Amino acid sequence: MIQSHIRIEVPEHALSVAGVTDYIQELLEQDPQLYRVWVMGEVSSANERNGHIFFTLQDTESNVSIQAVVWRSQRSKLASPPIAGEQVFLLGQVRVYTARGQYQLNTLQLIPAGAGIQALRRQQLYQRLAAEGLFENDIKRSLPAYPQVIAVVTSAQAAAWGDIQRTLRQRQPGLKVLLSPAVVQGDQAPASIAIALNRVAKDARADALILARGGGAREDLEAFDTEQVVRAVSTSPIPVVTGIGHERDETLADLAADFCAHTPTAAAESVVPHIEDLLDDLEIRKQALKATLQSTLEVHHQFGASLRHRLEQLYLNQKIRQEQQSLVWQKQQIRQILQHRLQTAQQHCRYLSQTLKTLDPESVLRRGYAVVRAEGDRVINSNQQVSVGDNLHIRLAEGAIIAKVKTVEE
């Protein structure tokens, strides 16, 4: 064997291990796209040490994985902890662990994928629409008691449509049912459902509307948690009953509807009373009406019999003429009595007027009389009430005189 010796010269600018690590750290940690990055993957393993959680995030379509950590100070801020086997959305910062020359994700937030992120979006949409009053009980309308036409918005191929038809046919065989078909799952579902609801509104024949979809996975009901569908339900001029999914499911469309029955069959049962119940109610009303009519007729019959009895005892026409003559005579009598009383009152008034004039003190004074008062305004009507030397006040018709008693005569 022939060996060749090759001389390799080491450049003066060669980096150390720490230098390479520092360079890589500077590149990664100063990249703005890696400073806050959302990553989706599956938690393949998770371990807790000293309050920190170290886990591996793996791509479900390949064997690529990345190390991640939740520091103890950040755990209380997470929407969900990392659990092995779960799909998650991770918001983190790419950091280099220089001791081992590895990079990892420092976790800022962790949300379950699929249902988790959808629940977050659903909650945000709920809060925004609730602030507008779309879910208030005050705006919900009552369902018609006896609907004649029912509109159904659902997929024509879905089992829900068959369940609704069968239920409505059993409860009221002659009921008219209109189908406004729609796609109820997938990306096209929200627009399709909104169009179907508007189609029913423009048709304007239906008394009530059923929006339905059969059971399935929770993500299959995402269309009924979209703003487009919720607004179409809340603005429908026709009362809306929802029957979506299973008993445990509740969508935003259920909250916006006038009545929520959760399942298609329950929705059909709630919007249309059973024919047997209607017949029973009709029989009860007939019996009540019959009893009321009988009671009313009996009362009127008794009243009529009483009137006939009274009329038979009276000669009505003769009685009326007698009463009229009596009224004329009484009228004349009252007029005469009033005239006599008026004359008497007038004479009495003249007499009283004359008497007042006669008794008027001023009139007496004008005839030459006087009023004598002693001290204290005491009227003197006897010589025994005065003594010699008393001052007297003498009131005349015109003016007054102050006099002094010189003598008292018997």
CA distance 204 to 196: 13
Fold of 146-273: Rossmann fold (3.40.50)
Most confident of 35-44, 191-200, 374-383: 191-200
Quick one: pLDDT band at residue 128, thresholds 50, 70, 90? Answer: very high
Residue 161 in this model has a pLDDT that exceeds 50: yes
Q: Which residue has the tokens 């102050």?
A: 402
Closest CA to 177 of 208, 202, 201: 208
Q: Do domains 17-113 and 146-273 have the same CATH topology?
A: no
User: What pLDDT is recorded for position 2?
Assistant: 37
What's the angle, vertex CA 314, arms to CA 312 and CA 318, rounded to 5? 130
Closest CA to 114 of 220, 263, 6, 264: 220
Inter-residue contact 87 to 40 (CB < 8 Å): yes
User: What pLDDT is recorded for position 218?
Assistant: 63
Residue 147 in this model has a pLDDT that exceeds 50: yes
- Which of 188-197, 254-263, 390-399 shows the lowest mean pLDDT across its residues? 390-399
pLDDT digits (tens, 9 = 90+) for 46-77: 889 999 999 988 886 776 889 999 999 999 98
Sheet architecture: strand order including 391-395: 378-379, 371-374, 391-395, 400-404
CATH architecture of 17-113: Beta Barrel (2.40)
User: What pLDDT is recorded for position 112?
Assistant: 81
User: What pLDDT is recorded for position 45?
Assistant: 79
Return the beta strands (E) in 71-200 as ranges: 87-97, 102-112, 149-154, 176-181
- Which of 6-20, 63-77, 90-104, 179-193 shows the lowest mean pLDDT across its residues? 6-20
Segment 322-326 mean pLDDT: 86
Quick one: pLDDT band at residue 9, thresholds 50, 70, 90? Answer: low
User: What pLDDT is recorded for position 232?
Assistant: 95
* Domain ranges for the chain: 17-113, 146-273, 365-404
Quick one: pLDDT band at residue 108, thresholds 50, 70, 90? Answer: very high
The residue among 280 and 301 whose pLDDT is bigger is 301
pTM, to two decimals = 0.49
Strands 65-70 and 102-112: parallel
The amino acid at residue 331 is: K
